[in-house]
Amino acid sequence: MTFYNIVFGIIFLAAVRELLQAAFDRRWTAFFQAATLSLVIFNDVIFTAHEIEELRLFYNIHMKIIDLLLFLLLALAVVIIEPKENVLQIRAGGRDGRKLREFNLWLVLTAYWILALGWDWVGRVYSGRPPLVWVLPLLMLIPFAALAAATFKGKETAATGILRPVMPLLMLGYIGIFKYFLYY
């Protein structure tokens, strides 16, 4: 778990850095993206550690490989939010430093959520628990996919204007309500 904690701690700090920088720069699109990303990472770190360290979930090799893939997706999300001056010091978007499409971020986070659901399945996280416990994580896939679909053409729409600031609130609700009742 130590390697996991270090790697995900680094990516969490990178996401929080992008969140704070976007807030100070008043770039609200990037702020909501980074807020969602930070909460996704927070959810992963807190509850994975809880499952493995406190509930003694067996952390097998398949779960470790999935964790590495999850880390790569989250690192990619940080770079998509800030392709020129990110903590990871990766310059993306071509030589001219153009912004990567917002669609890429929501597609990466959708892929992340699907892979995290795979981690839950491999680890049998929800086995023996009521159906609501495994249905809610599946339902959280919908807003990620909806934002990916809404941003596909690259144009600002009413859907993106509504969904983008709602995503961090959904993640807060997911962490604060669902996860709390799941474990306590």
- Encoded tokens for 120: 């839950």
Q: Output 79 or 113, whichever has higher pLDDT.
A: 113
Q: How many domains would you assign to the chain?
A: 1
Q: Could you report the per-residue pLDDT of 33-55, keeping only the tens digit for each? A: 999 999 999 988 887 777 777 67
Give alpha helix (H) positions in the chain: 2-25, 28-49, 61-81, 102-122, 131-139, 141-150, 158-173, 180-183
Length of the chain: 184
Q: Is 142 helix (H, G, I), strand (E, B) or coil?
A: helix
Q: Using CA atoms, how far apart are residues 12 and 37, in angstroms rounded to an integer?
A: 9
Q: Could you report the per-residue pLDDT of 132-178, keeping only the tens digit for each? A: 778 888 899 999 999 999 988 878 888 888 999 999 999 999 888 87
Distances in whole angstroms, Cα of residue 52 to Cα of each of 86, 125, 144: 31, 10, 26
pLDDT number for residue 88: 65
Q: Using CA atoms, how far apart are residues 64 and 68, in angstroms rounded to an integer?
A: 6
The pLDDT-based confidence of 100 (bands split at 50, 70, 90) is low
**Which domain does 90 fall in, by range?**
2-183
Q: Using CA atoms, how far apart are residues 69 and 117, in angstroms rounded to an integer?
A: 13
Q: Using CA atoms, how far apart are residues 173 and 181, in angstroms rounded to an integer?
A: 11
